[in-house]
Structures are given as structure tokens and as C-alpha cells.
């Protein structure tokens, strides 16, 4: 008779242990944020790398180097590439895409902003562009920048233009497409 009374208590105890284990496993490392943080899930944490901004939920972005008033809107792509390197593309509020490549120690190897748009007006090397996902912007293309123009369309109204800017705001490359 005693073994029949112990069996339901034993089963209840086992069930409670299983449920508490499952619930505690679900709660570790997760937060109740409105947007999933895919940046932290894609790469293991690196305890030797200090946080850039402890108050910002996105510690992977070097946001203090973004143009004034520009913020990261969302992560577009976050992937691991060869030999532990990591490539991240983030959409910015001004329509640009911040591209960051980090090594296996989480150090920034390369970081730049890429823009796309349509040329609205041209005055020499001064070009007014309607930025894709952004507002109009005036570019002053330095003379030392070679404009990639495979089709020979030139700087003209209505032509698609792509350009890259380093984190200091200097244009690094320009490409035209018809």
C-alpha cells in the first residue's frame, strides 16, 4: 500500500523538476525586447572586448562615428565569413548602409557607409542625389576619386549612383549605372 502512495508523489516531483528545468533554460540569456537582437545571436560573446556604449542595446555598432543625427535603423544582414571574420550590414536613418567587417577577436577591420541614389542635378563635381530610402544630398566628388562608369554614361540627371564614405565622411569610391 505504501508504494502506491509514493508513486504519485514521486511522479509529481519528477514533473516539477522537469518543468522548472525547462522554464529556467528558457529564461537565461533572453530579454523582453521588442525587436530580436540578431547581432548577439550570430556571434559568441567576446569577454575581452569592452562595450562601446553600455546604454545602447546594439554594442556591435561603432555609432559614435556615424554622421551627426544618424542612427542605426535595423540590422539587414549579420553573417560569419571565413576564418572567424564577421560581416554586418545595418540600415541607417539617412538611407545609408553601414558595413562593418570584424576579425575573430571582434576588432574592426573595415567599416564604411554605402549609399545608393538617383542623380537629380549636376554642376561639375557637385552632384545632387535623391538617396534611396533617404533625403536629397549634395555630393562634392573630389578630383582624385576615379568614377567607375562601365557604360560611359557620365554624371547626368536620372543616372543611378552608388558611393562609399569612410567613417570620417570622405568619399572613397563612386560608381555609375544607367
pLDDT over threshold 60, residue 46: no
Query: Alpha-carbon torsion 141, 94, 97, 153, what sign?
Result: negative
The pLDDT confidence band at residue 136, using thresholds 50, 70 and 90, is very high
Q: What are the Cα distances from residue 141, in Å, to 60, 70, 121, 146?
A: 30, 21, 13, 9
Q: What's the rounded mean pLDDT across residues 20-42?
A: 44
pLDDT reported for residue 176: 95
Task: Convert the pLDDT of each residue in 137-177 to its tens digit.
Answer: 999 999 999 999 998 999 999 999 999 999 999 999 999 98
User: What confidence score (pLDDT) does residue 61 get?
Assistant: 52
pLDDT band at 38 (very low <50, low <70, confident <90, very high): very low
The number of helix segments (H) and strand segments (E) in the chain equals 2, 9
Read off the pLDDT of residues 54-112 as tens digits, 9 standing for 90 and up: 333 334 555 558 888 899 999 999 999 888 899 999 999 999 999 999 999 999 999 99
pLDDT of residue 23: 54
Query: Between these two residues, 156 and 42, which has the higher pLDDT value?
Result: 156
Q: Which residues pair with 129 in a beta bridge?
A: 119, 137
**Mean pLDDT computed over 119-146:** 94
| pLDDT of 124 over the 70 cut | yes
Mean pLDDT of 12-29: 54
Phi, psi of 26 (to 5 degrees): -75, -30
Higher pLDDT, 116 or 3: 116
Amino acid at each position: 500500500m505504501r508504494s502506491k502512495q509514493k508513486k504519485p508523489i514521486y511522479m509529481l516531483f519528477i514533473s516539477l523538476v522537469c518543468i522548472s528545468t525547462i522554464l529556467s533554460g528558457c529564461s537565461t540569456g533572453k530579454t523582453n525586447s521588442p525587436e530580436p537582437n540578431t547581432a548577439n545571436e550570430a556571434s559568441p560573446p567576446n569577454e575581452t572586448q569592452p562595450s562601446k556604449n553600455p546604454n545602447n542595446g546594439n554594442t556591435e555598432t561603432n555609432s559614435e562615428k556615424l554622421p551627426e543625427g544618424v542612427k542605426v535603423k535595423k540590422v539587414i544582414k549579420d553573417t560569419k565569413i571565413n576564418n572567424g571574420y564577421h560581416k554586418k550590414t545595418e540600415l541607417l536613418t539617412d538611407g545609408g548602409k553601414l558595413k562593418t567587417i570584424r576579425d575573430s577577436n571582434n576588432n574592426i577591420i573595415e567599416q564604411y557607409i554605402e549609399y545608393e541614389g538617383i542623380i537629380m542635378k549636376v554642376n561639375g563635381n557637385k552632384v545632387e542625389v535623391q538617396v534611396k530610402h533617404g533625403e536629397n544630398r549634395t555630393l562634392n566628388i573630389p578630383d582624385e576619386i576615379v568614377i567607375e562608369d562601365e557604360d560611359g554614361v557620365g554624371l547626368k540627371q536620372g543616372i543611378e549612383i552608388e558611393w562609399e564614405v569612410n567613417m570620417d565622411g570622405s568619399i572613397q569610391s563612386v560608381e555609375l549605372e544607367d
